[in-house]
Amino acid sequence: MTVVSHDAEVVVAELVEEDRLPAALTDPAAVLAGALARPVLTQHTVLRPGELPTTERPAYTERDFYVSQETAEAIDQRSRPKNTERNRKSQWGMFENWCAEMGRVALPCTTATYIEYIASLIASDRYSPNSLRAHKSAVRSKQPEDAKPGTTVVTGLINEYAADWSKRNRVKKAPAIPDDKFRAMVASCDQRHPIGIRDRCVLLLGRGALNRRIELADLLCSDVDVDDDFVSLDIRFSKTDQEGEGETTDIPAEPDDVLMCPVDATRAWFNMLHRLGVRDGAFFRALTVAGTLQNRSTATERGDHVTGDAVNDWVRGRAFAARLPNWSKVTAHSLRRTGAQRIAEAGGDPTKQGRWKAGSVVVKKEYLDRAQSRAENPWLLVQEKRRTKTTDN
């Protein structure tokens, strides 16, 4: 035992071996007891004028601070998409490595470190504004609740960068598909072959329900219901439905045009699935060139479900088969864009059909306002007067 004496204090220290720590540091109950012995007042205490802080503390036990093993596993496997979780881990790893190189503390980090890190990413000019915001969120979400860095300066830096970045990098959107070209894409689907039957169904459901590619890839057989008048899709989870409440979207039949009828296409694909021995599970399946089911035994993450990239490939393949001039730029999002554009041009609102949030700025700007602007284009009046004048003569 060593005792060091000073004029105003006495410090008592006990030297122990590292593998023989006192029980107070290894026993969870002792650690909790020590935590509960802290002062009642904390930085989160809020007192009204004249109010005294309480001197009584609830009689907490270990049970009040632990969750069950089942709950712990549920937290670890919470609903955040796997890609998002993977990205956050990668972004946090980048921050940790940067801090190590710079001699800075990563956890908990200071606001200055937070600012300097984001500033370094901006200076590299390798990241889009949205990617920077993702890095910003990933780093801050890892910090303790009571020690999160300030965001005001970082947000300002990203916003300034975004204004300049948008001038230099215009987002290339998937093009909408003209009606005659879309019909040619559908017509390219050989209805004597399983791949053609599947692709026709993908095209007509994707445009009819304004699906995102992952919504098509995630469909289950039980999510699809078809009758004489409509195909109904239960979208269990989407970009605007992170809680998984689900939403049903209906697509009407085209009784006067069998080739373009979603009901006919869906029934044909269901029939093909049954012939392939599929009664449940993933609705859209990966097929071999011969039209049989691909072996998915090594697809550990998606199982029988295809990826969104696969859906893109199917759609782009049909654009190529139909000899679209811009076939290489066509994606599954072209179906969503095409459907929304047609609805807006007809005077409708695609918001609910495409499962956008009510009052979506995207829908207003990209579809409703654009359709109205085109309908009111002054050159249309010039053309109408020219036609009228030609008719009178």
314 CB contacts (<8 Å, ≥6 apart)?
198, 199, 202, 332
d(CA 359, CA 357): 6
d(CA 285, CA 311): 10
User: What sign results for the dihedral spanned by CA atoms 54, 55, 59, 61?
Assistant: positive
Query: What is residue 22's predicted lDDT score, i.e. its pLDDT?
Result: 54
CA distances from 387 to 9, 373, 376, 377, 378 (A): 101, 21, 17, 16, 15
Contacts 24+ apart (CB under 8 A), 132-135: 132/158, 132/161, 133/158, 134/87, 134/88, 134/91, 135/91, 135/94, 135/95
Write down the CATH superfamily of domain 188-358: Intergrase catalytic core (1.10.443.10)
Mean pLDDT, rounded, for 164-192: 86
Amino acid in position 370: R
Structure tokens at 159: 């916003």
Write down the CATH superfamily of domain 81-168: Tyrosine recombinase, N-terminal domain (1.10.150.130)
d(CA 316, CA 168): 27
CA distances from 44 to 61, 186, 324, 332 (A): 22, 62, 62, 50
Residues 231 and 225: beta-carbon distance below 8 Å: yes
pLDDT per residue over 187-245, tens digit each? 999 999 999 999 999 999 999 999 999 999 999 999 999 999 999 999 887 666 666 67
Residue 23's pLDDT band (cuts 50, 70, 90): low
Structure tokens at 236: 């269990």
Mean pLDDT, rounded, for 44-59: 74
Query: What is residue 244's predicted lDDT score, i.e. its pLDDT?
Result: 62
Residue 258 has pLDDT above 50, yes or no: yes
H helix count then E strand count, the chain? 16, 5
Residues 355 and 195: beta-carbon distance below 8 Å: no
Query: Hey, what's the torsion of the CAs at 124, 130, 135, 139, to 10 degrees?
Result: 140
Domain boundaries, the chain: 2-64, 81-168, 188-358
Higher pLDDT, 290 or 245: 290
Mean pLDDT, rounded, for 123-130: 87
Kindly report the pTM of this predicted structure: 0.58
State the DSSP string of 310-372: HHHHHHHHHHHHTT-TTGGG--HHHHHHHHHHHHHHTT---TTTTTPPTT-HHHIIIIIHHHH
d(CA 44, CA 50): 18
pLDDT per residue over 142-158, tens digit each? 899 888 999 999 999 99
